[in-house]
Structure 1
Amino acid sequence: MAHIPASGIQHTLRHGRCEAVVASVGASLRSFTHSGRNLVVPFDADEVRPAYRGTTLAPWPNRVVDGRYAFGGEERQLPLTEPDRGHALHGLAAWLDFEAVDKGSDHVTLEATIEPQTGYPWRVRVTTTFALGDEGLTQTVRAQNLSADAAPFGTGPHPYLVAGEGTVDEWTLELPASEVLSVTADRLIPTTLGPVDAAFDFRTPRQIGATEIDHAFTAFTADADGITAVRVTDAAGHGVGIAWDAACPWVQVHTADLPGGPAQPGHRGGLAVEPMTCAPDAFNAPRYDFDPGLLVIEPGAVAEAGWRIFAI
């Protein structure tokens, strides 16, 4: 029997000077290069994907606090997949093996079904397309509710962007967001939404330095076409960006601070930028005095979102 890598079937896409490799487990962006330069932190094909790197997040991005929520008048308990903090992290699709339903030299469409289970008793088919073009790598996610009842839903990607050599400390970040969601220091539980302060204000591009970020941002300044873009560049002005439209009113940014600090490989080696259709803990929307943007998909209906990663 042919060997299948730990990250699943590999799908290599090429267009011009760009190459992307998508792994079937979790519909994960395993690598993306422009003229041989990494635009995301890669991982090996025969490696168990580390830290949700590049995966497709569904049916929720980020955290459900304590894994508990109520929907449709029923209390639900999800498996706790972030044991150190006691939360349900990044959905249920991250370890599903997505099947290719369409493929070409510059695109692939992958599909998997989230089956009804304890904590999330809905059947949702997730279809995602990765396509390389002149403007970069576009990913779209389409989720259809195959159940008889309305289903709560959210989605987003999890790329760790790479501007150049070194760590995020030397890179310049442009993040056109005017509000940030505060969280508790120990468990990252959302508390209040407010204006960005001096530490988290990157509306004017500036060096990240020693700033530690693991926060959700919103209230974006979009361009004339309604597109929001985050850009990360090195000292020479080269780098990478990610752009999205109003379907994702939130973005999680994380400077990849690891418990072992500089001695741990990968510490601050990439900047996670995760456009999201909803805020962290959106499944518990009634707890908050702001709209976390939870999507509710009616039976047979579809929710869609997308984003694009591009070289600078």
Structure 2
Amino acid sequence: MPSTEHSIASGPYTAVVTARGGALRELRHNGRHLVVGFGPDGPVPDYRGVVCAPWPNRLADGRYTYAGTAYRAAVNEPERGSALHGLATEQMWQVREAAEDRVVLACTIGAGPHYPSDLEVSVSYSLDPGGLRSMVRTVNTGSASAPYGVCPHPYLVAGPGRLDQWTLELPACQFLEVTPDRLLPMGMKGVEENNFDFRSPRPLGPVKIDHAFTGISRDAAGLARVRVQDPAGTGVELEWGTEWPWVQVHTADKPVGPDRLGLAVEPMTCPPDAFNSGTDVVHLKPGESHSASWTIRALA
């Protein structure tokens, strides 16, 4: 039976990637966890580390219309009536390349009543002294144009302290307000309106976040960074480019079970329910591809 686990290493970094959802299962720097991990068997909890495609976040009622045709995806978040995180997260991805410091996995999304065309989705994970560098590339291998969006779903771990004690730096000036019951988009607001202004680093405290942010500040190379740091002096950052105009941040609040274990930081090509709003949706024609990359690295 083919292995579903793939370990890679380079310098102080080690990682474990699993075929389940193409997910990053572990990432360590000198033995210190940089993401919330999970076990080698069973379902991936809380979508940790998966690749969400061909849409990120929520699709209301699993319904949308594209090029005049109505589509319906399975609702996998029944409590909110949404199709959550696309069609690739429940798949067993296949290995395309494997080396000591790099692995590439891929999966196929087929056309049907849920989606207009066939897609080939691949994700590469490679380690070097600068951290874990990842890229997701999707090709429309079918005969029809299709809407597309994607995001990774890691939960960052700054250090041994509680999440409330971590300092967050989030370079965004706007967030998407959502309904309290279904977390579906309502409209844009400034971050200062909801105690979400982390453009200057400050402790998270008790604030609860599960929102998409935009209006992102970038450096001259077009790169943006979210950083979280622990009072012990350790930290982690996630860096992404202009392919991702949005980032979802979630403080991993859970009414039952392990609470606030890490900070989900998810660069997104489009916001929640984009297949219905049309906001920043990528339109992949047959034969076209889309690529987007991100990096996770240790701080101190």
TM-score (norm 1): 0.93
Please name the residue that 1:41 is paired with. Answer: 36
- Aligned residue for 2:7, secondary structure, equals strand
- Aligned residue for 1:275, secondary structure, equals strand
Please name the residue that 2:254 is paired with. Answer: 258
* Structure 1 CA distance for aligned equivalents of residues 117 and 144 of structure 2: 8
Partner of residue 146 from structure 1, selected from 122, 130, 141: 141
* Structure 1 CA distance for aligned equivalents of residues 79 and 297 of structure 2: 34
* Alignment map for 1:229-240 (pairs within 5 Å): 229-240=225-236
Report how far residue 285 of structure 1 moved.
Answer: 2.0
* Structure 1 CA distance for aligned equivalents of residues 214 and 21 of structure 2: 26
User: Unaligned 5+ residue runs, structure 1?
Assistant: 287-291
Contact kept, 8 Å, 1:168 with 1:269, in 2: the verdict is yes
* Structure 1 CA distance for aligned equivalents of residues 115 and 255 of structure 2: 31
Report how far residue 166 of structure 1 moved.
Answer: 3.3
* Alignment map for 1:131-280 (pairs within 5 Å): 131-197=126-192, 199-260=195-256, 264-265=257-258, 267-280=259-272
Count how many residue pairs are aligned between Structure 1 and Structure 2. 298
Contact kept, 8 Å, 1:63 with 1:281, in 2: the verdict is yes
User: Unaligned 5+ residue runs, structure 2?
Assistant: none
* Structure 2 CA distance for aligned equivalents of residues 231 and 22 of structure 1: 23
Structure 2 letter corresponding to 1:306: S
Identical-pair percentage: 47
Report how far residue 74 of structure 1 moved.
Answer: 1.1
Report how far residue 68 of structure 1 moved.
Answer: 1.1
* Structure 1 CA distance for aligned equivalents of residues 60 and 133 of structure 2: 30
* Alignment map for 1:60-75 (pairs within 5 Å): 60-75=55-70
Report how far residue 97 of structure 1 moved.
Answer: 1.2
Report how far residue 79 of structure 1 moved.
Answer: 0.7
Report how far residue 236 of structure 1 moved.
Answer: 2.8
Report how far residue 50 of structure 1 moved.
Answer: 0.4
Please name the residue that 1:289 is paired with. Answer: none
* Structure 1 CA distance for aligned equivalents of residues 138 and 276 of structure 2: 20
Cα deviation, 1:94-114, whole Å, max 9, x if unaligned, reads 011111111110001111110
Report how far residue 212 of structure 1 moved.
Answer: 0.3
Report how far residue 118 of structure 1 moved.
Answer: 2.1
Report how far residue 224 of structure 1 moved.
Answer: 1.5
Contact kept, 8 Å, 1:166 with 1:269, in 2: the verdict is no
* Structure 2 CA distance for aligned equivalents of residues 128 and 159 of structure 1: 14
Report how far residue 157 of structure 1 moved.
Answer: 0.4
Please name the residue that 1:29 is paired with. Answer: 24
- Aligned residue for 2:45, secondary structure, equals coil
- Aligned residue for 2:164, secondary structure, equals helix
Contact kept, 8 Å, 2:116 with 2:145, in 1: the verdict is no
* Structure 2 CA distance for aligned equivalents of residues 58 and 166 of structure 1: 33
- Aligned residue for 1:236, secondary structure, equals coil
Contact kept, 8 Å, 2:150 with 2:269, in 1: the verdict is yes
- Aligned residue for 1:197, secondary structure, equals helix
* Structure 2 CA distance for aligned equivalents of residues 237 and 179 of structure 1: 29
Please name the residue that 2:283 is paired with. Answer: 296
* Structure 2 CA distance for aligned equivalents of residues 192 and 121 of structure 1: 28
* Structure 2 CA distance for aligned equivalents of residues 171 and 195 of structure 1: 23
* Structure 2 CA distance for aligned equivalents of residues 98 and 224 of structure 1: 36
Report how far residue 167 of structure 1 moved.
Answer: 2.6
Contact kept, 8 Å, 2:116 with 2:144, in 1: the verdict is no
Structure 1 letter corresponding to 2:61: D
Please name the residue that 1:307 is paired with. Answer: 294
Cα deviation, 1:146-194, whole Å, max 9, x if unaligned, reads 1111110011100000001133111000000001000011110100012
TM-score (norm 2): 0.97
Structure 2 letter corresponding to 1:269: L
- Aligned residue for 1:85, secondary structure, equals coil
RMSD: 1.2
* Structure 1 CA distance for aligned equivalents of residues 34 and 215 of structure 2: 26
* Alignment map for 1:114-133 (pairs within 5 Å): 114-133=109-128
Report how far residue 250 of structure 1 moved.
Answer: 0.3
